Structure formats: C-alpha cells, structure tokens
C-alpha cells in the first residue's frame, strides 16, 4: 500500500493529512494505556495493548467511514494496514497513515 501525505480529498473535504493526524493522535492516546494493558490474551495470542490499539484504530477508521457514508472495514483490514508498519521506528505514524487510506477508500474494504 503506497500512500503519500500529499494524498487526496474525498467529497466531504477530508484530506489524507487531516485523517492521518486524527488517527495518529488517537493511536498515540491509546498507546498511553500500554502499562495498564500489559497482560497476554491467550485466545488471541497477542498482548492486550496490541489488541486495544487495533480495536481503537478499527473503531476510528469505521467512524470516519460512517461519516463519509461508506461501509465499515473488519479487523483483518486493520491488521493488513498494520503489517507494513511493524518494526519501523515510526510505527505509529505509518500505521496511522495506512489506516487513513482505509478510512478514505471509496468502497468496501473487507466488510465487517
């Protein structure tokens, strides 16, 4: 998924940079809860803070999509957006950027 912060605007005037900033702030806010979400979820095979941050991004991406009148995405789409960000020093910015692409995509992206 290649995306530039120069991005595009949708019909509601949402731009890639604005949506990226919104999602990045929300992800950073969610990351502040990591110390209190340090457990391991056996069923999911993930740390609780990882699940919380994905759920937070899923909710906000779908909130933006709903504002635009577009159907929701599912958790798998969020995980796909997260994958290329993993291991990068700017993980949170990249994850937010790829989620902004999902939020601004015109149609169904793995409907929930």
Q: In this structure, are residues 53 and 31 in contact, taking their beta carbons and an 8 Å threshold?
A: yes
What is the pTM (predicted TM-score) of this model? 0.84
Residue at 9 is within a domain: no
Residue at 10 is within a domain: no
Residue at 21 is within a domain: yes
Residue at 2 is within a domain: no
- Asked if pLDDT for residue 78 goes beyond 80, the answer is yes
Give the mean pLDDT of 18-41.
97
Give the mean pLDDT of 40-59.
97
Domain range spanning residue 92? 16-104
Helix H, strand E, coil C: the string for 22-79 is HHHHHHHHHHCCHHHHCCEECCCCEEHHHHHHHHHHHHHHHHHHHHCCCCCCCHHHHH
Looking at the structure of the chain, the number of domains it has is: 1
Residue at 30 is within a domain: yes
Residue with tokens 């779908």: 62
Residue at 99 is within a domain: yes
pLDDT of residue 106: 86
pLDDT of residue 107: 73
Q: In this structure, are residues 102 and 5 in contact, taking their beta carbons and an 8 Å threshold?
A: no
pLDDT band at 77 (very low <50, low <70, confident <90, very high): very high
């Amino acid at each position: 998924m290649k995306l530039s912060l120069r991005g595009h605007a949708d019909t509601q005037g949402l731009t890639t940079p604005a949506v990226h900033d919104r999602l990045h702030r929300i992800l950073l806010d969610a990351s502040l809860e990591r110390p209190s979400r340090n457990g391991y979820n056996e069923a999911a095979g993930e740390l609780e803070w990882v699940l919380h941050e994905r759920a937070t991004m899923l909710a906000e991406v779908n909130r933006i999509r709903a504002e635009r009148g577009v159907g929701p995405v599912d958790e798998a789409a969020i995980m796909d957006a997260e994958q290329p960000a993993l291991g990068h020093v700017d993980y949170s910015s990249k994850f937010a950027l790829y989620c902004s692409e999902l939020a601004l995509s015109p149609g169904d992206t793995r409907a929930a």
